[in-house]
Structure 1
Amino acid sequence: MQTVLSLLPALMSLAFVSSITPGPNNIMLMNSGVRFGLRRTAAHLAGVSIGFCILLAAAALGLGALIAAWPAAAAIASAACALYLLWLAVRMLEPPPTAAAPDARLRPMRFVDAVLFQWVNPKAWSMAASGATLMAQLEWSIVPRTALLVVVFGAINLPCIFSWALLGAQLRRHLARPRVRLLFSVTMAGLLLATALWMIEPYAPPHQHVGTDGTLAIGR
């Protein structure tokens, strides 16, 4: 079994790399920072952080193993997340609202929505499962082991996701020109579309093709 001192650097590295790299949460937070500013994105940011910590604790306390025993659960979560990202991508391509034609649907993600989104976010589940697996090597009982996991991961995850929201808020001032804003919207919609396709690709049925030698090959 590992000791705390030997596991802590690996846990911190895992938390930082998985939290700072692009994913559904970070892309959505950056887009929210651009569209609404940092202050109005605060509830979304808090929901991501707290929701992920709840998910992390649940995974470490045994829910992760329970979900893993039901293979369809991962496919359902990935499909739900992909559909939501596709909806967001379409919304990004719509003309921005004006004072003459406001859009009541245009608002930041609410705290509760951000918390619930973590449960269908495959990247969040992957991060939680990786952290729980790493901490299982620690010779502690499950409760203090889970508490340490949540504290370390949560403390590193929050500033990482905040940096994405801050980046969006800083970009906001440069997107006043319609052409620049359109280019940004198309780019963000493309990223969300690529993320959605990446999530459902592992569950796509394999395709068949005939090789040059006449044999039937199966692949993706």
Structure 2
Amino acid sequence: MAALIELSSILIPLLLFTLLATATPGPNNTLLTLSGSRFGYRQTLPFLFGIRAGITGLFILMASGIGGILNQNPHWYLYLKLLGAAYLVYLAVKMAFSKGHKQQNSPANLIGFRQGALLQFINPKSMMMVLSCITAFSLPGELYLLSVIQACLIFNLVGLMSNSAWTVFGSLISRFLATELARQRFNRMLAILTLVAVALLFI
């Protein structure tokens, strides 16, 4: 009973942190909006679920001690940031300049489950969010594992809703883009926002 009370005491702050972390613009949400506008909600679901799977993998790694190693070796983290930034730029450019109408887009241009999952391991924002979440909302001693599991579940649940909202937004707004030129401009605007989000990670 005492354990449940202690876990529940951090639940509201955890929910607020997770909402701010997952609902705000960032590389994941911008790419989901871009994918939703190009391919629609259903076809973007593998990418969305890949993101959540990757976040879960990050929780496992960070909670097992990788986060502490990165803190002790900041140059490793810098290398990961550079690698992640390069890959995010590649994905943004790939999707922004893919040709053809929404219904005719090639599956080759679609970001899938595996890409979405692997992206999280080199996505600087995802790594920072997960490490911050574990640091702030894990409890010492016997409650450490339970508190990390709670943080992971809440983070993924709220993140799933936030990611879905951004994907639906992209899918809905594409209906108002009557011409291919308008669609391309919208996609390129989102690509630019992705590049801005990446740049902000280095400030």
TM superposition score category, shorter chain reference: 0.7 to 0.9
For 2:10, what is the secondary structure of its paired residue?
A: helix
Shift of 1:44: 0.4
Alignment correspondent of 1:205: none
1:71 aligns with 2:50: no
For the aligned residue pairs, the C-alpha RMSD in angstroms reads 2.2
Asked if the contact 1:61–1:142 (Cα under 8 Å) also holds between the matched residues in 2, the reply is: no
Shift of 1:121: 0.7
CA distance in structure 2 between the partners assigned to 1:157 and 1:47 by the alignment: 12
Asked if the contact 1:24–1:195 (Cα under 8 Å) also holds between the matched residues in 2, the reply is: yes
Question: Quick one: which amino acid aligns to residue 41 of structure 1?
Answer: T
Structure-to-structure mapping, 1:64-103, within 5 angstroms: 64-94=67-97, 96-97=99-100
Decide which of 140, 164, 167 is 1:165's aligned counterpart.
167
Alignment correspondent of 1:144: 146
1:22 aligns with 2:25: yes
Q: What percentage of aligned pairs have identical amino acids?
A: 27
Structure-to-structure mapping, 1:120-199, within 5 angstroms: 120-137=122-139, 140-199=142-201
Question: Quick one: which amino acid aligns to residue 59 of structure 2?
Answer: L
Question: How many residues are paired up?
Answer: 197
CA distance in structure 1 between the partners assigned to 2:98 and 2:52 by the alignment: 31
Question: Quick one: which amino acid aligns to residue 48 of structure 2?
Answer: L
Alignment correspondent of 1:8: 11
Asked if the contact 2:84–2:122 (Cα under 8 Å) also holds between the matched residues in 1, the reply is: yes
Which sections of structure 2, spanning at least 5 residues, go unmatched? Answer: none
Give the direction of change, closer, same or farther, for the CA distance of 1:180–1:69 in structure 2 (3 Å limit). Answer: same
Shift of 1:152: 1.6
CA distance in structure 1 between the partners assigned to 2:59 and 2:18 by the alignment: 11
- Which sits farther off after the overlay, 28-37 or 70-79? 70-79
Using the size of structure 1 for normalisation, the TM-score is: 0.80
Which sections of structure 1, spanning at least 5 residues, go unmatched? Answer: 203-220
1:48 aligns with 2:51: yes
The structure with more radius of gyration: 1
Decide which of 35, 39, 57 is 1:36's aligned counterpart.
39
CA distance in structure 1 between the partners assigned to 2:25 and 2:191 by the alignment: 14
For 2:109, what is the secondary structure of its paired residue?
A: coil
Asked if the contact 1:81–1:120 (Cα under 8 Å) also holds between the matched residues in 2, the reply is: yes
